[in-house]
Amino acid sequence: MKTNTLPNVTDFSGTILIPVFETYSKSIVPITFNGLEVTSKVFFGKKDTHYLAEKNNNTYVFIGLGKEIDYKSLKTTFRRISSKQKENFSSNVALVIPEQFTHDHVEAMISGLLLGTYDLGHFKSDKNVHPFLEPVFSLNLVSEKDYLSTAKKGIKIAKAQLATYNLVDLPPNTVNPKYLANWAKETGEKYGFDVEVLGYEASKIAGLGAFLAVGKGSENEPQFIIMNYTPTTEVEHVKHVGLVGKGITFDTGGLNIKTAGMLHMKCDMAGGGAVFGAMQLIADLQLPVKVTAIVPCAENSVDAKSFLPSDVIHSYSGHSIEIIDTDAEGRLILADGLSYLIKNFKPEYIVDIATLTGSSVGTFGYECGALFTKNTEMAKKLQENGDAIGERLWPLPLWDAYKSDIESDIADVKNYSGKPVAGAISAAKFLEYFTQEHKAWAHLDVAGVAFGDDEFAKSKHATGYGVHLLTKFIENL
Ligand code: BES
Ligand code: MG
Ligand code: ZN
Q: Any alpha helices (H) in 216-357, and if so which ranges?
A: 270-284, 330-345
Q: Quick one: pLDDT band at residue 436, thresholds 50, 70, 90?
A: very high
For atom 22 of ligand 1, the residue with the nearest CA is 358
Q: Quick one: pLDDT band at residue 224, thresholds 50, 70, 90?
A: very high
* Ligand 1 atom nearest residue 361's Cα: 7
Q: Count Cβ atoms within 10 A of the Cβ of residue 23 and give its class: 0-12 exposed, 13-18 middle, 19 or more buried.
A: middle
106, pLDDT greater than 80: yes
Burial 149-183 (b: 16+ CB within 10 A, else e): ebbbbbbbbbbbbbbbbbbbbbebeebbbbbbbeb
Beta-strand ranges (E) seen in 281-419 are: 290-300, 312-314, 320-322, 349-354, 369-373, 393-395, 413-414
147, pLDDT greater than 90: yes
135, pLDDT greater than 70: no
Question: What are the residues facing 393 on neighbouring strands?
Answer: 369
Mutate to test the pocket of ligand 1, among 356, 357, 405 (most ligand atoms within 8 A of CB): 357
- 325-378 tens-digit pLDDT: 999 999 999 999 999 999 999 999 999 999 999 999 999 999 999 999 999 999
For atom 16 of ligand 1, the residue with the nearest CA is 328
Q: State how far the Cα of 324 lies from the Cα of 417, in Å rounded to an integer.
A: 8
CA of 203 to the centre of ligand 3 (A): 20
* Per-chain residues with Cβ under 5 A from ion ligand 3: 248, 251, 268, 330
Q: State how far the Cα of 142 lies from the Cα of 461, in Å rounded to an integer.
A: 34
Mean pLDDT, range 103-130, rounded to an integer = 93
From the CA of 447, which ligand is nearest?
A: 1
Query: Can you give the pLDDT at residue 131?
Result: 72
- Residue that wins the pLDDT comparison between 131 and 298: 298
409, pLDDT greater than 70: yes
Query: Can you give the pLDDT at residue 422?
Result: 98
In degrees, to the nearest 5, what angle opens at C-alpha 377 toward C-alphas 374 and 381?
115
Q: State how far the Cα of 206 lies from the Cα of 31, in Å rounded to an integer.
A: 67
* Ligand 1 atom nearest residue 448's Cα: 9
- How far the first Cα of the chain sits from its last, in Å, is 30
Q: What is the DSSP string of 89-157?
A: --SEEEEE--TT--HHHHHHHHHHHHHTT--S-TT-TTPPPPGGGSSS-EEEEE-SS--HHHHHHHHHH
Mean pLDDT, range 145-155, rounded to an integer = 96
Q: CB neighbours of 85 closer than 8 A, spacing ≥ 6?
A: 50, 52, 61
* Ligand 1 atom nearest residue 325's Cα: 18
159, pLDDT greater than 60: yes
- 243-287 tens-digit pLDDT: 999 999 999 999 999 999 999 999 999 999 999 999 999 999 999
CB 132 within 8 A of CB 139: no
Query: Can you give the pLDDT at residue 132?
Result: 72
Give residue ranges with CB within 6 A of ligand 1.
251, 253, 261, 267-268, 325, 327-330, 355-359, 361, 416, 423, 447
User: What does pLDDT average to over the chain?
Assistant: 96
Tell me what percent of the residues of the chain surpass a pLDDT of 90.
89
Task: List Cα–Cα distances, 3 to 18, 62, 154, in angstroms.
Answer: 17, 21, 11
Query: Can you give the pLDDT at residue 56?
Result: 87
Q: State how far the Cα of 194 lies from the Cα of 226, in Å rounded to an integer.
A: 8
Mean pLDDT, range 25-53, rounded to an integer = 90
Could you tell me how far CA 212 lies from the centroid of its own chain? 25
Q: Is the pTM above the cut of 0.85?
A: yes
Q: What is the DSSP letter of 222?
A: P
427, pLDDT greater than 90: yes
Query: 253 φ, ψ to 5°?
Result: 100, -15
CA of 444 to the centre of ligand 1 (A): 14
Task: Confirm whether 79 is a catalytic residue.
Answer: no
For atom 8 of ligand 1, the residue with the nearest CA is 447
CB 23 within 8 A of CB 44: yes
The closest of 234, 180, 167 to 467, measured between CA atoms, is: 167
- 189-217 tens-digit pLDDT: 999 999 999 999 999 999 999 999 999 99
Mean pLDDT, range 143-152, rounded to an integer = 96
CB 245 within 8 A of CB 140: no
Q: Quick one: pLDDT band at residue 456, thresholds 50, 70, 90?
A: very high
From the CA of 323, which ligand is nearest?
A: 1
CB 392 within 8 A of CB 369: yes
Query: Can you give the pLDDT at residue 133?
Result: 67
Q: Which of 121-125, 126-130, 155-159 has the lowest mean pLDDT?
A: 126-130
The active-site residue out of 159, 331, 381, 429 is 331
Task: Confirm whether 258 is a catalytic residue.
Answer: yes
Task: List Cα–Cα distances, 434 to 322, 333, 340, 451, 475, in angstroms.
Answer: 14, 11, 10, 27, 26
Mutate to test the pocket of ligand 1, among 321, 323, 327, 431 (most ligand atoms within 8 A of CB): 327
The two beta strands, 312-314 and 290-300, are: unpaired
* Per-chain residues with Cβ under 5 A from ion ligand 2: 251, 327, 329
CA of 299 to the centre of ligand 2 (A): 10
